[in-house]
Chains A and B, each alone.
Chain A
Amino acid sequence: MSLSREQLLRAYRQMKTIREFEERVHAEIMNGQIPGFTHLYTGQEANAVGVCEQLDTADTIISTHRGHGHCIAKGADVIGMMKELFGSSEGLCKGKGGSMHVADMEKGILGANGIVAGGPPISVGAALAAKIRKNGRVAVSFSGDGSVNQGTCFEAMNMAVVLKVPAIFVIENNYYSEHTNISYAVGCDDLKARTEGFGFPVFVADGADFFSVYEAAGKAIAHARAGNGPAGVFAETGRFHGHFVGDPQHYRAKGELEDLRQNSCCLKNFRARMAQTGELDAQAMDTVDAEVMALIEQSVAAAKAAPRPTADQVTSDVYISYAGA
């Protein structure tokens, strides 16, 4: 696997953008600037970027409640997203969706999703459309170790096999479904084997390593795009924050978060690999860092200055047309 300098820089930029977006969102929530329930993706960036760097714009993704990273990785406008989180009428979804419902149809983002395992059945539908249209597209659903215990996830996986559609199930195991460890909530010892039991191949990745996810996603996507039916990516990862912002994280072992930030950071890992291979110099990534920080700063300034929605907008966008009352 060899990536061009441009591809490497883009992958790094995407991961860094997600990281700084999330850390800034965290700060703005603590400042009381962002309302609602927010779930941060910090620590899992390599998963979203490793998968989305293998996709075309016309391919679709569907995400989760922890969806900012997937949306940025698939090309959502960062400033529009920040405005959305602030609740502005200029937000990507006019302030009607917020953190858990960021979407952009033109970028193939069928939405973050507030319902655990709400996405996989919908993604099977997008994949079914691709199969019927024979347009070569694939549909990715991101979900986590919590989603795999939902019936909708089972239904979607089985139906994807039955209908032989180009659906890719990316399972990011961050070990905690809310406050409960996977060792308790998944009743078997081998989730990969259980998933493969549905009848599709699952490719394993290190979710702290962009290159590992990129490679596994590439295999899964190639499998699906070639008309062989669905495939899975199973990545072990870790979130650096709680389930939601404000989560006291009683479930963590002593030192667990420090260990994660120290040893499971995709940005550190990426830089270490670049230092080793010499494919990118540190200065080039420093420049990206500065540009990303400027973009995030710009997005927050824009979000704070953006117009607020007005009461007359409450009932628009429910239907395309609605006769009668």
Chain B
Amino acid sequence: MPQKTMRDAINEALHQAMAEDDSVFVIGEDVAGCQGSPSGKIGEVGGVFGVTSGLYKRFGPDRCIDTPISESAIVGAAAGAALVGMRPVAEIMFADFVGVCMDQLVNQMGKFRYMFGGKSRCPAVIRFACGGGFSAAGQHSQSMYQVMTAFPGLKVVIPSNAYDAKGLLLQAIRDDDPVLFFEPKALYQAACEVPDEMYTIPFGQAAFVREGDDVTVVAFGQMVGRAAAAIDALEAEGISCDLIDPRTSSPLDEAAILESLEATGRLVVVDESPPRCGLTADIAGLAASKGFHSLKAPVQQVCAPHSPTPFSPELEAAYLPDVAKITAAIRATLA
């Protein structure tokens, strides 16, 4: 099976979805690129991370639409087009920019169906590049998916590898509800085996990345790989862990987490977001309320501190959860 990077896997999914269904189009800042420029190289950019590469040339200006820097109008345009039958895929470059389109995401797109009594559908996908690791500092490094998980009406997807990214994005595009799709930008160049053909991965079904008996580790996005590295190193000591990647935080596969916890009695939750009202607290709460009798040790939360993301590489390395912190947390549950 061919190896593909997450960027190429997402790009392939977009190409295939647009070829399959003419109601699918992409819209965002520089998704084509060079519009109105003296170079005349329209379409050469394909998104600042190259994820929409080639779409303009293949599908033309009506289906690969560059916009001004107007995030509210981008999300609104996707929401409005979806309400009247299209399947837009909008790109909001950095997840941090939810701040400049929050109303359209939360109060508009996420609530249409409910407020309209179940009589509308809004099959829009909004893509974001998220997460740290680039010294991109406070306004270009956040996860934000943990924030958006709080809002009913939206589905929230966080792929941790190229294979899942393709299957989850194809599911997102075919899904009839609005979906927020968060791509950990540190993983764009990470490759794994990805089939050429189209396939979907259902939402709300966690992946068991590792299987073990002693500790349940739940990790999201970029942290899945780091958690796997920590778990693999502990194997030599005879410590074996379940590693659960929920893949979607809304819906959340609670059953997978609780079943694993029932077997292991120990839980570590890893996410790169700050701790308050985040996914680690959410899942710790799940364990406390629905898995309390399984717990043999306090739940360990491994996450960023209650601080903005710093710039300097040394500071950011100290800020993000790493293999050492995850390893220590796993050990702590066994102490």
Known: A126-B83, A324-B252. A115 touches B103 (CB 8 A): yes
Q: Is the CB of A324 within 8 A of B81?
A: no
| Chain B residue, CB-CB nearest to A315 | B152
Q: Is the CB of B82 within 8 A of A318?
A: no
Contacts of B255 in A (CB 8 A): 324-325
Residue from B68, B81, B83, B113 in contact with A159 in the complex, judged by beta carbons closer than 8 Å: B68
Among A103, A110, A319, A323, residue most surrounded by chain B Cβ atoms (within 10 Å): A319
**Interface residue tally on B, bucketed by range:** 35 or more
Q: Is the CB of A125 within 8 A of B76?
A: yes
Contacts of A114 in B (CB 8 A): 107
The complex places the Cα of A13 from the Cα of B73 at a distance, in Å, of: 36
- CB A214 to nearest CB in B, in angstroms, measures 25
Residue from B67, B86, B113, B203 in contact with A162 in the complex, judged by beta carbons closer than 8 Å: B67
Among A118, A131, A163, residue most surrounded by chain B Cβ atoms (within 10 Å): A163
Residue from B81, B113, B121, B153 in contact with A125 in the complex, judged by beta carbons closer than 8 Å: B81
Q: Is the CB of A105 within 8 A of B252?
A: no
Known: A96-B117, A121-B75, A152-B76. A111 touches B204 (CB 8 A): no
Count of CB-CB pairs between chains A and B under 8 Å: 175
Residue from B80, B117, B177, B252 in contact with A124 in the complex, judged by beta carbons closer than 8 Å: B80
The complex places the Cα of A293 from the Cα of B98 at a distance, in Å, of: 47
Q: Is the CB of B85 within 8 A of A129?
A: yes
The complex places the Cα of A97 from the Cα of B73 at a distance, in Å, of: 23
Stretch at the interface among A87-95, A172-180, A300-308: A87-95
Q: Is the CB of A93 within 8 A of B80?
A: no
- CB A192 to nearest CB in B, in angstroms, measures 22
Number of interface residues of A (CB under 8 A): 52
Q: Is the CB of B67 within 8 A of A163?
A: yes
Q: Is there a chain A Cβ closer than 8 Å to B327's Cβ?
A: no
Within 8 A of B (CB), among A91-120: 91-97, 101, 103-105, 110-111, 113-115, 118, 120
Contact mask for chain A residues 130-157; partner B; CB cutoff 8 A; 1 contact, 0 none? 1111000001000000000001100110
Q: Is there a chain A Cβ closer than 8 Å to B104's Cβ?
A: yes
Contacts of B121 in A (CB 8 A): 320
Residue from A97, A115, A319 in contact with B107 in the complex, judged by beta carbons closer than 8 Å: A115
Q: Is there a chain B Cβ closer than 8 Å to A316's Cβ?
A: yes
Contacts of A130 in B (CB 8 A): 84
Contacts of A113 in B (CB 8 A): 108
Where the two chains meet, the residues of A that have a C-beta atom closer than 8 Å to any C-beta of B are: 60, 62, 91-97, 101, 103-105, 110-111, 113-115, 118, 120-133, 139, 151-152, 155-156, 158-159, 162-163, 316-325
Instruction: Give 25 pairs: A residue, B residue, CB < 8 Å, sorted on A.
Output: A91-B117, A93-B115, A95-B117, A96-B116, A97-B117, A103-B115, A105-B120, A114-B107, A122-B108, A124-B73, A125-B88, A128-B65, A129-B80, A152-B104, A158-B73, A159-B67, A162-B68, A316-B118, A317-B118, A322-B204, A323-B251, A324-B203, A324-B205, A325-B252, A325-B253
Where the two chains meet, the residues of B that have a C-beta atom closer than 8 Å to any C-beta of A are: 25, 27, 62-63, 65, 67-68, 70, 72-86, 88, 103-104, 107-108, 112-121, 152-153, 155, 175-177, 202-205, 248, 251-255
